[in-house]
Amino acid sequence: MTPSEIKALLREHGIHPSKALGQNFLADTNMAAHIVRLAGVQPGDHVVEVGPGLGSLTLALCEAGAHVRAVELDKRLAGALAEVVRAKDVDIVNADALEVDWAELLADHDRWIMVSNLPYNVATPVVVRALETAPMIDDFLVMVQREVGERLAAGPGSKAYGALSLKIAYYAQADVVGAVPPAVFVPKPNVESALVRLRRHAAPPVTVAEPEKMFALVRAGFATRRKMLRRSLAETLGDAADSVFQAADVDPRARAETLTLPQWAALTHAASTGVRFETRLDAYAKLTLSLHVTGTRVDGMHELDALVVSVSAPRDELVIRPAAATTIAVTGPFGAGVPTDAANLAVRAAAALGANVAIELHKGIPHGAGLGGGSADAAAVLVALDADPGLASALGADVPFCLTGGAMRMTGIGEDLEPVNLPDLAIVIATPPFGCATADVYRAWDELGGPLGNTVAIEGLPPLRNDLEPAAHHVEPRLALFKAAVERAAGAPALLAGSGSSYAVVFRDIAAAEGARARIAETLDGQVVVGLTVDAGVRERQ
């Protein structure tokens, strides 16, 4: 399909490509045919395609004589695709490739090939999950972001080599077999793409009784990849470290990026008794200092232009360990009411990666307070599991920022981040004992006709304004009274955090902030803390 045909289909069906879903449509017939040739597709082969979009690659697969099962998450695209491939040998499955039961979906044939232009934001978890749970897929030819492709196929000693490379090597032989320029896509992405071939091993090249323990050890080693193993694995191996290195015949002065898969297997075997595999992390609150609503998309989501920062308090504390099944235990002053099922973003992050972990969450960030607590927890799981950062946006609009942290200009629905330079700040954050739901606030903003917030001037910062404040006060009138009381006690203007319900007062001096905190705490019910701006959204605790 040509670019003009792709654009015409998008217009006809009222579809706007979603950055959050990684939608960049292949629009080059020659490239589609080239991919099919590289995949070695023959007449009668059964091919599963993830993210078929508008069908450019699907049509090329059909032309080669393949039977295609196309898995598409977006219902709009699935409908358009049905028109494109009408009368072709294509089964369209409207499902999430990160949740679909591969064994059930592909049970009707013994051998499948995956040929896909994978959405960038889910490419890694799709490949890993298929390798782990779909043994009937024995060959893959996937198009991914170039950097991701390099990580999938990297070997020891290379810059791209990491925990992901080792997990892939356990299941398959991976090779980068081609490059794809941005010009063949609609819309054009800002990155180059790569074609990666994976051929599943008949059996893993190493024998490990519990592979997840090996992957946990690998993640611990790569968490601080510049350190020698005796330091990066010191907490994991504990007092047994010296004997483990000696038994595995691995130099403790080596770095994680130099070890081969058999060496990691040897370390795992040597450490099989009494070794702790856990990661301890602090997940910092996300504070929105300014929020302009710039428009509403056709899917109902609101476009934003916001200034967001990470603050040291409040924060959540997490301990994450490998387990037979994913569980979460929630404690702390704000643990009540936090979901412990798939509605919890941290649990969803583990599921998206196909990982089973036990999560201990000490909840210090009030939920429903506009401070991104759930997103921060999801980001912590991504860090602990050495996940592809591209997965973040698929979990939630705030997760990409919470993963990166610092001070950022956030646009789109949260997926576009641009670093900004701000002075060090001490911020008093006051959270009332009541909240307001984000969805209710945005709905009220629409119903009120899109009111603008009041602009606040603070020395050293750009003008700050929260367009959601009038709507939040409409939904929860007590917020206006709470804001007024905070400002009286602090003697400074207060800023609504996101959609509420927390208010922030910004200071350049920590002593002034502590004084304001004490006065506000004496006056109002709720949590009042001082947070310092920090340059990370998640940090591993030493």
Strand order in the sheet with 172-180: 90-94, 67-72, 46-50, 112-117, 137-145, 193-200, 172-180
CATH 3.30.230.10 residue ranges of the chain are 279-420
Q: Which amino acid is at 13?
A: H
Q: Pseudo-torsion of CA 124, 287, 281, 229, nearest 10°? A: 60
**DSSP track, 228-240:** BHHHHTHHHHGGG
In this predicted structure, what is the pLDDT of residue 21?
73
Q: In sequence order, what are the residues at sequence separation of 6 or more whose Cβ sits closer than 8 angstroms to the Cβ of residue 51? A: 22, 71, 72, 73, 97, 116, 117, 118, 119
Show Cβ contacts of residue 131 under 8 Å, excluding neighbours closer than 6 positions.
Answer: 137, 168, 171, 172, 198, 200
Strand 357-362 relative to strand 46-50, pairing = unpaired
Instruction: State which amino acid sits at residue 500.
Output: G
What DSSP state is assigned to residue 306? E
In whole angstroms, give the CA distance from residue 195 to residue 149.
7
Mention every residue, 6+ apart, whose C-beta is less than 8 A from residue 250: 229, 259, 263, 266, 267
Strand partners, 141: 115, 197
Which residues of the chain form CATH 1.10.8.100? 211-270
Is residue 303 within 8 A of residue 413, CB to CB? The reply is: yes
Among the listed residues 207, 189, 180, 172, the one whose alpha carbon sits nearest the alpha carbon of residue 116: 180
- Write out the two tokens for 290: 């300014």
Question: Token digits for 374?
Answer: 């759930």
The verdict on pTM exceeding 0.85 is: no
Domain with CATH 3.30.70.890 in the chain: 426-534
Assigned token pair, 61: 């697969």
**In CATH, which of 1.10.287.110, 3.90.850.10, 3.30.230.10, 3.90.1170.50 is domain 279-420?**
3.30.230.10
**Which region holds residue 450: left if phi is over 0, alpha if psi is between -120 and 50, else beta?**
left
Q: pLDDT in tens for each of the 542 residues of the chain?
A: 778 888 888 888 888 887 767 788 999 999 999 999 999 999 999 999 999 999 999 999 999 999 999 999 999 999 999 999 998 999 999 999 999 999 999 999 999 999 999 988 889 999 999 999 999 999 999 999 999 999 999 999 999 999 999 999 999 999 999 999 999 998 888 889 999 999 999 999 988 878 999 999 999 999 888 899 999 999 888 888 888 898 888 999 999 999 999 999 989 888 875 445 678 999 999 999 999 999 988 878 899 999 999 999 999 999 987 666 789 999 999 999 899 999 999 999 988 887 777 899 999 999 889 999 999 999 999 998 878 888 898 898 899 999 999 999 999 888 789 999 999 999 999 999 998 999 999 999 999 999 999 999 998 899 999 999 999 999 999 999 999 999 999 999 999 999 989 999 999 999 999 999 999 999 999 999 999 999 999 998 86
Catalytic residues: 286, 398
The Cβ-side half-sphere exposure at 264, using a 13 Å CA radius, reads 30
CB 139 within 8 A of CB 196: no
Do you find a cis peptide bond into 501, omega within 30 degrees of 0? yes
SS3 154: coil
d(CA 391, CA 416): 14
CB of 371 closer than 8 Å to CB of 287: yes
343 contact partners, CB below 8 Å, separation of at least 6 = none
* Beta-carbon count within 10 A of 540 CB: 16
Query: Which DSSP string do the residues of 72-128 spell out, in sequence order?
Result: ES-HHHHHHHHHHTTTSSEEEEES-TTTS-HHHHTTT-S-EEEEEE--GGGHHHHHH
CATH of domain 211-270: 1.10.8.100
The Cα–Cα gap between 286 and 392 comes to 15
Distance from the first to the final alpha carbon of the chain:
53
Q: Which residues contact 235 (CB under 8 A, 6 or more apart)?
A: 220, 276
Pick from 13, 91, 107, 84: nearest CA to 49: 91
Structure tokens at 272: 């099989």
> Which pLDDT does position 70 carry in this prediction?
97
Assigned CATH for 3-200: 3.40.50.150
Q: Residue 399 corresponds to which amino acid?
A: V
Tell me if 180 sits within 8 A of 192, measured CB to CB: yes
Please state, in angstroms and rounded to a whole number, the distance separating the CA atoms of residues 52 and 73. 9
Residue type, 154: A
Nearest to 70 by CA among 87, 43, 50: 50
What token pair was written down for 446? 């629409």
Which residues is 473 bridged to in the sheet? none
Three-state secondary structure call for residue 19: coil
**Strand intervals (E) in 326-415:** 327-331, 357-362, 407-412
Positive or negative, the CA dihedral 243, 244, 248, 251 is negative
DSSP secondary structure of 431-444: E-S----HHHHHHH
pLDDT computed for residue 274 by the predictor: 46
Residue (of 122, 27, 21, 141) closest to 84 by Cα position? 27
- Outline which parts of the chain fall under CATH 3.40.50.150: 3-200
**Looking at domain 426-534, what is its CATH homologous superfamily?**
GHMP kinase, C-terminal domain (3.30.70.890)
